[in-house]
Amino acid sequence: MLLYVNYFDQEIKMENDNPTIGLVLCTAKHDGMVKYLLGDKSKQIFASTYQFHLPTEKELELELRREISIIEYQKKSDE
């Protein structure tokens, strides 16, 4: 995933675009592994456990908004 995010940042992303993120859907998630594999890029690449049904567009939108809120809150806490 990191390869794709970096490629997109260097070859496709425009100056006024928001930061590139990646989304990994998986059957299991190991936070320690993600931390060491991605380093500081782990804030741009999200891993989540696999679900047996596809979420609706509305559910995806709500989840993305929730994740963005968490990230923004964490950024403010770090300042």
- What is the per-residue pLDDT across 51-76, written as a single tens digit (0 to 9) for each? 566 788 899 889 999 999 998 988 88
Domain range annotation of the chain: 2-78
Higher pLDDT, 34 or 1: 1
Higher pLDDT, 73 or 1: 73
Instruction: Confirm if 23 and 8 have CB atoms less than 8 A apart.
Output: no
Instruction: Confirm if 22 and 42 have CB atoms less than 8 A apart.
Output: no
3-state class (DSSP) for residue 24: strand
Where do runs of H (alpha helix) occur along the chain? Answer: 2-11, 31-38, 57-78
pLDDT of the residue at 18: 82
**For the whole model, what pTM was predicted?**
0.39
Question: Any idea which residue has 């989304």 for tokens?
Answer: 23
Distance between CA atoms of residues 38 and 9, nearest Å: 16
